[in-house]
């Protein structure tokens, strides 16, 4: 493993992938009634909890493969990573907003810190993927053109 083959954005996205994997096991939804309480992890909190996290893990793996001597070409490059990260972030946001949330004197139910951690991880992935896209010469005006370029080519200026 040679981490010198990875730039700052690749390292950040690889770390985001590891953190997303860890976040799948954190409590995303919890409930308590008096002294009794329980929680559900990202795996048990619905499709829009575990799928975006797996998407972020996949991005982390893809950007880290060059450190292991593997060459990977993704159509769209960082534009694809930015779009996938944004999709993951939006899905996590939808999951958070659709959780049932109630609070009473001796009972409460609602999202837990894993949801908030997932949202922060998704935002960080989107930012670093977009920074990688702009570092390669991309702009919002030519974002869609990045998917038209042949693998290994830079988007048109």
Domain coordinates of the chain in residue numbers? 3-147
pLDDT digits (tens, 9 = 90+) for 12-33: 999 999 999 999 999 988 888 8
The three-state DSSP-derived secondary structure of the chain is CCHHHCCHHHHHHHHHHHHHHHHCCCEEEEEEECCEEEEEEHHHCCHHHHHHHHHHHHHHHHHHHHHHCCCCCCCCCHHHHHHHHHHHHHHHHHHHHHCCCEECCCEEEEECHHHHHHHHHHHHHHHHHHHHHHHCCCCHHHCHHHHCCCCCCCCCC
Q: How far apart are CA 153 and CA 148, in angstroms?
A: 10
The pLDDT of residue 157 is above 80: no
pLDDT at 156 over 50: no
Residue position matching structure tokens 């770390």: 15
Name the residue with higher pLDDT: 98 or 53.
53
pLDDT tier for residue 75 given thresholds of 50, 70 and 90: confident
The predicted-structure confidence for 96-146, as pLDDT tens digits, reads as follows: 888 777 777 777 887 888 889 999 999 999 999 999 888 877 777 777 777
Which CATH architecture fits 3-147?
Answer: Up-down Bundle (1.20)
């Amino acid at each position: 493993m040679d981490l010198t083959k990875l730039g700052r954005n690749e390292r950040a996205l690889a770390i985001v992938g590891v953190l997303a994997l860890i976040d799948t096991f954190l409590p995303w939804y919890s409930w308590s009634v008096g002294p009794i309480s329980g929680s559900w992890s990202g795996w048990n909190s619905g499709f829009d909890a575990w799928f975006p996290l797996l998407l972020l893990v996949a991005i982390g793996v893809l950007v880290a493969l060059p450190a292991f001597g593997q060459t990977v070409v993704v159509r769209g490059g960082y534009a694809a990573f930015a779009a996938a990260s944004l999709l993951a972030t939006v899905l996590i946001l939808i999951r958070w907003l659709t959780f049932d949330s109630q609070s009473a004197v001796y009972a409460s139910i609602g999202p837990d810190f894993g949801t908030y951690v997932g949202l922060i991880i998704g935002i960080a992935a989107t930012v670093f993927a977009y920074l990688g896209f702009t570092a390669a010469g991309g702009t919002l005006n030519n974002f869609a053109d990045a998917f038209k370029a042949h693998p290994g080519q830079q988007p048109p200026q």
